[in-house]
Amino acid sequence: MRPYSRPNGVLVLRGWQGWEPVAALVPAVWSSPYSIQVIWRYDGKKPDTLGLNTRLYKWIPQNDLLGHPKTKAFITHGGTNGIYEAIYHGIPMVGLPMFGDQPENIAHMKTKGAAIRLDFNTMSSADLLNALKTVINDPSYRENTMKLSRIHHDQPMKPLDRAVFWIEFVMRHKGAKHLRPAAHDLTWFQYHSLDVIGFLLACVATATFVIAKCVLFCCQKFFKTGKKKKRE
């Protein structure tokens, strides 16, 4: 997949189930004066007014597209993998979080100045267009994502070399049992602390029973004493 040559670069749009409302906003946004190539992962019904600069795909090599030198922005739901890929390549984001950890991920990127968050349920085409203009034209977003990218790349060894090292480490030490968490040796009820919970519940029940018996005994003594005084 090779992006077309456009003066203002490429926009990568990652769709997801439930993105049908976004599809209704797309034509108004892509018909903006931006001469930009839009690559959209979308498996829904094709919008009737889809622009000629927009290509729909059921699957896209997202990481490769984000690494393309012409890519200017990334519209994402805020999944962890997409966030890390955008950080790795220094691409500013427009986030449309839906569920799970997505709102937190986008909020974190927003505080870092690397993304703009929009409300999926209330945004308009103007909101989406303005957000795109901001992340593309405001150099601070690109600078902030590049700063995060440099931090992400600043490691003592390459990720592939680190993965190879740990695989060989486990092989050399016959499974590296010394790194195995002790939780694997616990029974299921110990792992979930059911034995501790049961003991604590038994203590609470015993204490409640003793207190109830004491209160009942005191009440009986009080009533007996009262009756004796009345008889006298």
pLDDT, tens digit (0-9, with 9 covering 90-100), for 132-186: 889 989 999 999 999 999 999 998 888 899 999 999 999 999 888 888 888 888 8
Euclidean distance between CA atoms 118 and 128, whole angstroms = 8
Q: Give just the sign of the alpha carbon dihedral 185, 188, 191, 196.
A: negative
Q: What is the CATH number of the domain that holds 77?
A: 3.40.50.2000
Query: Does residue 46 sit in the same domain as residue 102?
Result: yes
Residue 38 lies in a domain: yes
Residue 112, in any domain of the structure:
yes
Which residue segment(s) compose the domain that 113 sits in? 10-153
Does residue 28 share a domain with residue 135? yes
Among 49-53, 103-107, 181-185, which is the least confidently predicted range?
49-53
User: Domain check: are 26 and 133 in the same one?
Assistant: yes
* 75 and 132 share one domain: yes
Number of domains within the chain: 2
- Do the Cβ atoms of 103 and 84 come closer than 8 Å? no
Residues 199 and 129 in one domain: no
Give percent of the chain with pLDDT exceeding 90. Answer: 36
pLDDT digits (tens, 9 = 90+) for 208-224: 999 998 988 888 877 77
Label the pairing between strands 37-41 and 115-117. Answer: unpaired
Q: In this structure, is the dihedral angle defined by the CA atoms of residues 210, 212, 213 and 215, taken in order, positive or negative?
A: positive
Cβ neighbors of 88 (< 8 A, separation 6 or more) are 63, 66, 67, 149, 152, 153
Flag whether 48 is in a domain: yes
